[in-house]
Chains A and B, each alone.
Chain A
Amino acid sequence: MNDKELLPWLEKMLTGDEAAFRVVYQATHTDVHRTIAFLVYNKQDIEDIANETYTRMWRSFHTYDQNRPFRSWLHGITVRQVQDWKRKAWRRIRLFERNRLMHDEQFDWTDSEVIKSETQLELLGVVRTLSYKLRVVVILRYFHDYALDEISELLQIPLGTVKSRHHLALKALRKHCELTGGDSYVHRQTTTR
């Protein structure tokens, strides 16, 4: 569904029309969920952030400029909710809970190792080890296809910062490719031929 088709539903949604909201949800949930799931790995956290993102969507709808793509406005909200959540989580929780969370994150990490070995997504594994700041740039650039200046606007950080984070992320990814270059070459040969 494009913006023009979505807009009437969005406006109806604001009047408390639940059926209209369901249409909006169906049109957007895959994108919202995928974006969050690339940035945060804990299932419960993903659920919380998705809920916050939608709440923000209808509460801040008046700030949406209808001359611009709805999709990128929603991406802006989504990444800001992820960031807010990360900041709040580390401020509020007690030390032992932090430890538990770190443990969880490790647990999820082994989970992603499984995915990685199953599907041979080698770069994805490296993307997951990148710091959040680098990772979010990679996801917006290579998954959502934003230009670097659009990313700068979306994340509300200077273009130079986006460029350097993008550069650092690619450097880390390339380094990984060089290190395992031999192996993956052999591997690709066996799978493709």
Chain B
Amino acid sequence: MSIDKQLRDELLQHAKSLKTPPEIESRVYLSYQNDFLQKKGRLSMKKRLVSGIIAVAILIPTAALATPYLADQIFGSSQTIIERGGTQEDYQEIEKLFQEAKSKLTEEEYAEFSAVMKQLMDLKIKITDQNGVMHEDQLTAKERKQFEEILPQKAAPYFEKIRGGK
């Protein structure tokens, strides 16, 4: 038997044993319904998200509420992170870190810490694409040294203070 024929036979024989799992069917139907039957619902999804954010804002203790989002001072808005493959949750985590930093560092230290973080994040945002993958090769040699050595070294003692104070 030629190898061509044997190959065809075996692939066909194996294919016959492959049955589409019913999970696929129900999932594909669900996707279809989501895409077609709830198209009008898309706007309300956005509305739901907005009301969700408002609800969260109300739940945040008043002390935190008094200060605007600290992370916004670094990134502009959560959109910057989301556009690069992050999630709202990621952004909340970063915000938590800054809140902690502010409460544990002196005012002077916090100013320095956020300045360093801003430089670091600006570089990071510059090289991160929409899937969250970093392309270090886009940096100049000087920027790269900043990104990989100088800035992390500057930030390290502050991180120790923040984490150590836990």
Contact = CB atoms under 8 A, between A and B. Distances in A.
A96 interface: no
A94 to B, nearest CB: 12
Interface string B3-40: 11011101111110110110111011101110111010
In the A-B complex, the 6 residue pairs with the closest CB atoms: A16-B36, A33-B20, A143-B11, A121-B10, A54-B28, A142-B7
Contacts of A43: 21
Interface in A91-131: 91-92, 115, 119, 121-124, 127
B37 A16 contact: yes
Grouping DSSP codes into helix (H, G, I), strand (E, B) and loop, the A interface class, with mixed when no group exceeds half, is helix
Interface string A158-184: 000000000000100110010000000
A154 interface: no
Interface of B: 3-4, 6-8, 10-15, 17-18, 20-21, 23-25, 27-29, 31-33, 35-37, 39, 85, 131-133
Interface centre among B6, B10, B17, B36 (most CB of A within 10 A): B10
Given A91-B133, A142-B8, 4 more contacts: A29-B24, A29-B25, A47-B24, A174-B3
Interface centre among A37, A122, A173 (most CB of B within 10 A): A37
Interface of A: 16, 18, 21-22, 25, 29-30, 33-34, 37-38, 43, 46-47, 50-51, 54-55, 58-59, 88, 91-92, 115, 119, 121-124, 127, 138-139, 142-143, 170, 173-174, 177
A29 B96 CA distance: 47
Interface centre among A58, A127, A142 (most CB of B within 10 A): A142
